[in-house]
Amino acid sequence: MNFYNAREKNHLQIIEDRDIVNWWSLFHLLVFPGLIFAATIGLLLLWLLRKLIARFQWRVGPPIYQCFADFFKLLFKESIVPADANRIVFILASFVSLSAATVAMLLIPIGSSQPFQGFMGDIIVLIYLLSIPSIAIILGGSSSSNPFGAVGASREMVLMIAYEIGLILSILTLAIDAGSLMIGDIVKYQVSNQIYLIRYPFAAVAFFICVQAKLGITPFDIPDAKTELIAGPYTEYSGRLLALFKLSHAILFFGLMSMMISLFFPGPFTGVYIFDVLIHLLKCSIIVIPISIIAAVNPRLKINHALRFFWIFVFILAAVDFARALLLVIA
Amino acid sequence: MKKDKKRSLLKIDELSEALRSAFSKPFTVKYPYAPSPAPEGFRGKPEFDEEKCMGCGACSEVCPGGAISIIDEGDTRKIELLYGTCTFCGLCEECCPIEEKGIRLTTEFKMVFSDKDEARTSIEKPLVRCERCGEPITTVDHLKWMIDRLGPLAFSNATLVSVIYDLTLGKIPIKEPEAKEIDRADVIGILCPKCRRKAAVIDHGYRVKY
Amino acid sequence: MKRECTIIPMGPFHPALAEPEFFKLSVKGEKIIDVEIRIGYNHRGIEKLAEGLTYNQCIFLVERVCGICSNIHPLCFAQAVEEIAGVEVPDRAKYIRTVIAELERIHSHFLWLGLAGHIIGFDTLLMWAWKARELVLDIFETVTGNRQSYAMNAIGGVRRDLKKEHISKILKTMDEAERATKRFIKAISGDPVTLSRLKGVGVLSNEDAKKYCVVGPVARASGLKIDIRKDYPYAAYDEMDFDIPVRRDGDALAKTEVRLEELLQSIRIIRQAVDALPNGDIKCEVKEMPEGEGLSRGEAPRGEDLHYVVSNGSNMPERVKIRAPTFMNLPSIKPQLIGNTIADALIIIGAIDPCFCCTDRLTVVDVKENREKIMSSDELLQRSRKKSSADHRGS
């Protein structure tokens, strides 16, 4: 019920009929921008990433339906739970991961200045929700009773500790500048003033690098390094459970891209919602290009190098802009 | 630090290669959809030449993998090559006694079979057997080839003489083996080396007349 | 307070190892404290098989000892047999053997470079290196008739001649290979991330290198200047002008650098050999095989390859002994691995360019009586049948 108070405070549209609100939130959760839409776009963006990397390597690359084919193939396969694994945690981890990623989609604005379920302090909830998939992977990996899963989980944990600081610091920078903990306010502030990509470029770079680490794309694919740890935490996952992880990864991919757009270069908003969404998707695909270039020309980092890189280089980048934001606010 | 920066700047080299690749055609050959012919002299699928092969079996003697086998059944000799065992070394072609080569490695490399039993090729040749014991001697074509190569010398071998006799009459020199005691008449006949030796040394008692 | 260490099984089936081999790593956290190497998953009994084949057939058998160095094994075998027969190989054949051996080195080093890139997660390097390698394989396809298993050597010479159009194609490809190699040298020496993955990883000290008798690029990366091509020249290497790259660090980076420089040297040798290709026969006839024994060595891309043949005067060898280079290099993995992290384990194993099939040996040890046992082929067959039927029942 706090949600409603928050909405009133921010002079948002108040819908009196609770039943309608519930039906619409279910639609938002499952169809748009939640599960189905986010998963479709996420899988398409993952395809784009694979295709671009392939083109940088003189290869042809997969066809556009490849990621969907992979997903549906996994759906029709048997899931095997290892006999020694903690059965409940092992199975629940994949569901937790998927549901957290899906719920997070409700808090990220797509093609507008307002998320579908915005409230005071939603950005903090968002940070929590976005870290739940990583935690689910850690749980799943360590409950699988596989040495590779255990090592992968411990790597995931270290990596999480490494990138979360930069991620939170760069988001806080923007929150301080906009003077609000609501993601909608941050977007609105940028629309009326200047986009944060220009004002806080260092924070943008730090956020960009942290997003790559969060998604486990090549220089940071340390936890599931296939030549070292087979599949890391995913080693024992198969069939539907693995498909759920793949799906939550795809949703997370789209979610983080959307978040980057909302936080650093939102707009321009045409007023027609469909066009706004299309512009948003175009921007998502543009972000995939630098990610794919970085993934193509870099080898995988070692976990200790990654930790040093994030705690020194990324932290300094984020801290510089954080200090600037603080100074601007005080002054 | 400065040195590091300079070195990291060199990543431009990799970037330029990556971009060059992105804006040029993929290096991959879309093989099943586009042809990818093997060069001349490629050692591909070996195939028998129905016309030239004479069925001597020299290829099966030299084959290092044992892919070529001789199966003598009734009046035919079947030389069979298993593609699954073949190593495509080309020794069979090299050792084929015929100049135009009765077995040749083609440039064909597609070897997709839906059944394991399809992965083989074979050639069948009429087989000459010993008139007495029924042991396989060799194929008709091989005998012809020997007669050709030997010329007049072929008449020094009684088996070859009988073969020439049959051939000039337009008959195929294949006779149903008849298991009976070797006697004097068998000296002129198609015999395996073992029986020929017996026929040659047998004492029929005629000698006392001289 | 003794912490129990985790056992990480690397192999027998591992996505980065193309061949079955077992490395039992005992780790604390990410650090490796002990290694156990087990070989023998892919033993094929080639030496025994060779005793039942004629010399001409053996060439094709020993060619299949290794899929990558499928020229050096028949070359060494042919040389050993030629030594017994006492025949002198024609000059042209010697030069062609040199060209093919060096082309093989180029393709093998490119392959290794790609694999090393794959192991450290640099898949783009894998694709680029294998793209360069593809051109060399195209030469093989045209000249010898196959991309792998060239079947180029014969007792007393080579089986196919180098034609004029082949030579121009080889020279053209060498230019491209040189360009690619130089680009790789730049890419590896200029990239801080790649350097951080390779530098100081899996150091094999000079003393250890001597102690473990390592061969080939592994030895040269640890400061041992050994190369059969220079020390005991075979084929036409005594007439070639080339350098042996040597590094002193002994880490994965040194091994990479040695191989990259060897690529340039190989290109140099091929250009010389093709230019100075003498006219004449490509094969001499071996009239008879006397009794005797022959020993021949060759520098495979991975190091020294040794073939020992005993003849009893018949057309089949009495005994063939093959020592592939990885057999010497594999034990040296242990001192290289201990003290490094799991993340580095595979690049260390990969850096010696292992070829496990070439290496596999089988020894049956009776633990109770502490002695080795020789098994007959029947016993082995029975064992295999027993095992496969047990597996069958299990599934």
Domain boundary assignment for chain C: 46-358
- Whether A54 is covered by a domain: the verdict is no
Whole-number pLDDT of residue C389? 66
Which residues span the domain enclosing A190?
A: 65-330
Tell me which residue in B11, B22, B30 faces A56 most closely, judged by beta carbons.
B22
Find tokens 């596999």 and name the residue: C360
pTM, full prediction:
0.86
In this complex, the chains that touch A, judged by 3 or more CB pairs closer than 8 A, are: B, C
A76 and chain C: CB distance < 8 Å anywhere? no
The answer, yes or no, to whether residue A201 has pLDDT greater than 50, is yes
- Looking at chain C, the whole-number percentage of residues with pLDDT higher than 90 is 4
C neighbour chains, 3+ CB pairs within 8 Å: A, B
Are C145 and B90 within 8 A, CB to CB?
A: yes
Q: What pLDDT band is residue A10 in, cutting at 50, 70 and 90?
A: very low
Per-residue model confidence (pLDDT) at position C106: 92
Contacts 24+ apart (CB under 8 A), C40-44: C40/C360, C40/C361, C40/C362, C41/C12, C41/C356, C41/C360, C42/C356, C42/C357, C42/C360, C43/C360, C43/C361, C43/C362, C44/C357, C44/C360
pLDDT at residue number B14: 75
B38·C141 Cβ contact <8 A: yes
| Residue A15 pLDDT exceeds 70 | no
Phi (first) and psi of residue B169, to 5 degrees: -80, 0
Pick among C146, C152, C160 to test the B interface (most B CBs inside 10 A): C146
- What is the token pair recorded at A84? 């020694």
Could you tell me if residue A243 is inside a domain?
Answer: yes
Closest partner residue to C142 (CB to CB) among B13, B39, B89 is B39
The terminus-to-terminus CA distance of chain A in angstroms comes to 37
The beta-carbon neighbor of A299 closest among C16, C127, C197 is C197
The answer to whether A290 faces chain C, any CB pair under 8 Å, is no
User: Residue C48: which pLDDT band, with cuts at 50, 70 and 90?
Assistant: confident
- Could you give the percent of chain A with pLDDT greater than 70? 93
Total count of domains within chain A: 1
> To the nearest whole number, what is the mean pLDDT of chain C?
84
| Any C CB within 8 A of B7 CB | yes
pLDDT at B6: 54
Report yes or no on A306 lying in a domain.
Answer: yes
Work out the burial of residue C313: count CB atoms within 10 Å of its CB; fewer than 13 is exposed, 13-18 middle, 19 or more buried: exposed
Q: Does B38-127 carry CATH code 1.10.3720.10? A: no
Enumerate residue ranges in chain B where pLDDT < 70: 1-10, 202-210
Work out whether the CA dihedral A96, A100, A102, A103 comes out positive or negative: positive
Q: Is the ipTM of this complex over 0.90?
A: no
What's residue B9's pLDDT? 56
CATH number belonging to domain C46-358? 1.10.645.10
pLDDT at residue A11 is higher than 50: no
Say what the pLDDT of residue B19 is: 81
CB pairs under 8 A between B and C: 71
Within a domain: A38: no
The three-class DSSP label of residue C324 is coil
A278: in domain: yes
Q: How far is CA C363 from the centre of its chain?
A: 22
- Band of the pLDDT at C3, cuts 50, 70, 90? low
Lowest-pLDDT choice from A185-194, A275-284, C364-373: C364-373
Mean pLDDT of A273-289: 87
**B101 and B49 Cβ atoms separated by less than 8 Å:** yes
Least confident segment among A94-98, C215-219, C356-360: C356-360
Within the 291-320 window of chain A, which residues sit less than 8 Å (CB to CB) from chain B? 293, 296-297
Residue span(s) of chain B under CATH 3.30.70.3270 come to 38-127
Give the closest of C128, C134, C192 to B17, CB-based.
C128
What is the arithmetic mean of pLDDT over C167-191?
Answer: 86
Grade residue A48 by pLDDT with cuts at 50, 70 and 90: very high
Calpha distance A98→A128 (Å, rounded): 14
Helix, strand, coil fractions of chain A, as percent rounded to 5:
75, 0, 25
Give me the pLDDT at residue B205, please: 59
The alpha carbon dihedral of C292, C298, C302, C304 has a sign of: positive
- Residue A20 in any domain: the answer is no
